[in-house]
Chain A
Amino acid sequence: MINAVEVKNITKRFPGVTANDRINLEIKRGEIHAIVGENGAGKSTLMKILSGLYQPDEGEIYIFGKKAVISSPVKAIEMKIGMVHQHFMLIPRFTVLENIILGSEIRAGISIDNKKAKKIVEDLCSMYNFSINLDSRVENISIGQAQRVEILKVLFRGADILVLDEPTAVLAPQEVKELFLNLRRLKQEGKTIVFISHKLDEVLDIADRITVLRRGRVVGSAVPGEITKEQLARMMVGKPVLIDLKKRETDPGEVLLSVKNLRVKDPGGKSVLNGISFEVKGGEIFGIAGIEGNGQKELAEAIIGLVNIDSGSIKIRNIDIKGLSVNQIRKMKVAYIPEDRHKNGLVLPMKVWENEIMGFQRDDKFYKKPLLKLKSAQDFTRSKIREYSISVSSINQAVEDLSGGNQQKVILARELSENPDVIIASQPTRGLDIGATEFVHEQLLKKRDEGKAILLISADLEEVLALSDRVGVMYNGSIIAEFKPGEITLEDVGIYMLGGPEKKVSGE
């Protein structure tokens, strides 16, 4: 049996890093082959080589036994390789059908033969058991459905090899199940699937074979059923990892953050928070789970004072913060770790020390009218670099040249430096590797044990459940369920993430 994909000694270098180092890989026709590895292990680079976005520096690729030079995404699809990107490449204002046919339209003269195109896509849908309304606009469909549109896009182009890059990152558990049903169906029909992930449970569930990458190299391969999750994790990280966090029992103290009936409207007047209430006590992590875009971002921004409150109240240590500026709120010992560190957490082209004092630049510590106290700012930065073991070449390095983990450490060091009582942590480990993620988790737990109140907002359900003392699930601007981790099953959390039990969750 010939291999669908065979990669021989592929090497790809970027300035300062070898992203793929002599990678060898065989993917059999008709199998679901998972490629796992930490962030930065080289998974995405390998996939971009397969999909024609990057050219390898060395090595050869064989597609269905034939040597292939994949010089562009268009070339890749000619060779029957279809890429389903992690970040959807869809046009929200177009209909599902328009998104699918774009670039490979069925023509009738100069116009598009919509009828014929629709027929072809409908046939695909029924063949692979996809149910989706082709005439809805993509902006109105769910994330799970958007992903199906992406898969249909490559099927419409005749792909036999589907490459899915972290396809479950954005999905709720039920949607993951559905995706897996679709994938198994595709496999039955003879398609080959390359499944990139770092979620080990899912990989063990869906894959026929697993290849593990670490630091640009293939470090092993495995077959589910012959390997445990722990073994796989060890292979991926290179050392035994703690999957369960050590969490001390604490005695929650007084309420430090209280939100009551909070309502917020977006600039267009649409209601994004519909009367949210919760309290966070000292020594407690309150986790917010939920699919992104259900008001989490607005909630964090309302507490730190970035968006205006429509009605309701937010109290820090029983003081209403309505009408206070961000600066005034921060002065009340509130720290904020924003979800997008590049946009809101750092000024990327500026130096490490400049970023480290940002927001505190008018404190007496760093400021003597009208000048900054350079020396004390830089000494401060040096001490933080030591304390948080941030790896930088100098404090004058631009923060954009640091790795994601080190960038997040710069933010943590800054935000935690004033010993805050309330910490808003929004997606604090997004895009970080396991080591850096662990570090962030440790810091948050440490602050919890010190008696601080922490609001943890994360799309990573496992993270929320592992860290939090109590969890609220946000859906459509409301907290529709609150519970303690362990009280309900992962399944049930998933149901709430999709709107609660009263909503039918099926492949509509």
Chain B
Amino acid sequence: MHLAELLASSFRMAIPILLTALGAVYSERSGVVNIGLEGMMIVGSFWGALGSYFYGPYVGFLVAMLAGIVLAIIHAIASVTFKVDQIVSGVALNILAYGSSRFMSQAIFKMATTTPHVAGLVKINIPGADSVPYLKPLLTGISPIIIITILLVPISEFIINRTVFGLRLRAVGENPLAADTLGVNVFRMKYAGVLISGMLAGLAGAYLAMEHTGMYVEGMTQGKGYIALAAMIFGNWTPSGALMASLLFGFAESLSFRVVENSFIPYQFIKMIPYMLTLIVLAGFVRKSTPPAADGVPYERNAG
């Protein structure tokens, strides 16, 4: 087994988790728990494949992000405007995403669980990679999405910590009443947080379908939306924390692939590694991390 190869694979596995976890950071820092991320990834993977099938990969990614945003709008309307329990709304969206993708797949491709093969983006090779054979797996065949995602980490850190938007987003997640009395539009900030999370989760789903597998397959997200939530918590609601946590989960997942190839431990147990890791991490570390003070609490403007 090649170490560079394992690392490269870890990176590829970490990307969809990281993208979605970054989205979750925006949503939760605004005070909205978004358990519907899994569903937003599902629609992203299906609509990404659909867009790419008919109009090529660029349109595919755009359509996927739009699909994620549409689902996010539903989540925002339900949980921000109408103050439905955020978990209930999110779970409902996951069911909706699963059912609607299956339905659309059957209607358009006459296949309920997969789409035909679709094109991805042109892969990037870092010039000069051939001269360092050992690092070749890390430096060649890189999806542009990987680069965008990595860049999104410092960009998100900047947005959340240094900009007016970020300050207000965090304020709304910590104490919406205080923000409201200072003239911050609480609802607009929460909508923004949720919509950004939908867009990034949609992008993550499309990455899975177009860059990983080359097609949409039902159930291909394999709970990565939930793992992303775990990564965000593990990363203490920060983009850079989410990066570290996602890399850990990505590493666990790629390890589970490799181990299968040369081991006699039953395959099912190896497959459990990423999920067991999620459980252990959540059980062991959640107590030490601090969520935004008003996370998950619908904001009601109370005249009294």
Contact = CB atoms under 8 A, between A and B. Distances in A.
B303 A94 contact: no
Question: Interface SS of chain A: helix, strand, loop or mixed?
Answer: loop
A73 B303 CA distance: 12
B181 A73 contact: yes
B171 A111 contact: no
B163 interface: yes
B127 interface: no
A89 B168 contact: no
B178 A90 contact: yes
B87 interface: no
A89 B181 contact: yes
Contacts of A83: 181
A258 to B, nearest CB: 35
Interface string B168-198: 1011001101111111100000000000000
A112 B162 contact: yes
A90 B182 CA distance: 11
Contacts of A74: 183
Contacts of B164: 105, 107, 110-112
B167 A98 contact: yes
B165 interface: yes
Contact of A102 (B165, B184, B303): B184
Given A89-B175, A91-B178, A112 B303 contact: no
A138 B182 CA distance: 17
Contacts of A98: 167
A490 B293 CA distance: 37
A91 B184 CA distance: 14
B29 to A, nearest CB: 11
A90 B181 contact: no
A94 B162 contact: no
B171 A91 contact: yes
Contacts, number: 64
B167 to A, nearest CB: 6
A94 B163 contact: no
Contacts of A85: 181
Contacts of B181: 73, 83, 85, 89
A112 B167 contact: yes
Nearest to A88: B178
A91 B180 CA distance: 12
A222 interface: no
Q: Which of B164, B168, B179, B293 has the most CB of A within 10 A?
A: B164
Nearest to A267: B287
Interface in A25-53: 53
A92 interface: yes
Contacts of A110: 163-165
A54 interface: yes
Interface residues of B, number: 23
A418 to B, nearest CB: 35
Given A111-B162, A112-B164, A104 B303 contact: no
A157 to B, nearest CB: 8
A90 B178 CA distance: 6
The contact size tier of chain A is: 20 to 34
B179 A102 contact: yes
A499 B23 CA distance: 45
Contact of B177 (A89, A101, A111): A89
A225 interface: no
A103 B168 contact: yes
A103 B179 contact: yes
A102 B293 contact: no
A247 interface: no
A77 B181 CA distance: 10
A281 B293 CA distance: 42
Nearest to A100: B182
Q: Which of A94, A101, A102, A107: most chain B Cβ within 10 A?
A: A102
B217 to A, nearest CB: 40
Interface string A206-224: 0000000000000000000
Contacts of A116: none
A90 B174 CA distance: 9
Contact of B182 (A103, A107, A112): A103
A443 B177 CA distance: 38
A89 B293 contact: no
Contacts of A54: 303
Given A91-B174, A92-B293, A112-B167, A102 B182 contact: yes
A93 interface: yes
Given A93-B174, A103-B168, A111 B163 contact: yes
Contacts of A103: 168, 171, 179, 182-184
Contacts of B177: 89
Contact of B175 (A91, A101, A107, A112): A91
Contacts of A104: 182-183
B62 to A, nearest CB: 24
Contacts of B162: 111-112
Contacts of B168: 102-103
A270 to B, nearest CB: 13
A68 B184 CA distance: 22
A54 B162 CA distance: 34
A93 B293 contact: yes
A89 B178 CA distance: 5
Given A73-B183, A89-B178, A105-B164, A94 B293 contact: no
Given A103-B184, A111-B162, A112-B164, A53 B303 contact: yes
A61 to B, nearest CB: 18
A153 B175 CA distance: 15
A53 B303 CA distance: 7
Contacts of B293: 91-93
B136 to A, nearest CB: 39
B158, B170, B182 pick with most chain A CB within 10 angstroms: B182
B45 to A, nearest CB: 32
A153 B178 CA distance: 11
Interface in B121-173: 158, 162-165, 167-168, 170-171
Interface string A96-129: 0010011111010011100000000000000000
29 contacts: A73-B181, A74-B183, A83-B181, A89-B177, A89-B181, A89-B182, A91-B174, A91-B178, A91-B293, A92-B293, A94-B170, A98-B167, A101-B167, A102-B168, A102-B182, A103-B171, A103-B179, A103-B183, A103-B184, A104-B182, A105-B164, A105-B167, A110-B164, A110-B165, A111-B162, A111-B164, A112-B162, A112-B163, A153-B182
Given A91-B175, A111-B162, 13 more contacts: A53-B303, A73-B182, A74-B183, A89-B178, A90-B178, A91-B171, A91-B178, A91-B293, A92-B293, A94-B170, A102-B179, A111-B163, A153-B182
Instruction: List 6 A-B pairs, minimum CB-CB distance, nearest first.
Output: A103-B182, A89-B178, A74-B183, A91-B174, A105-B164, A103-B183
Interface of A: 53-54, 73-74, 77, 83, 85, 89-94, 98, 101-105, 107, 110-112, 153, 268
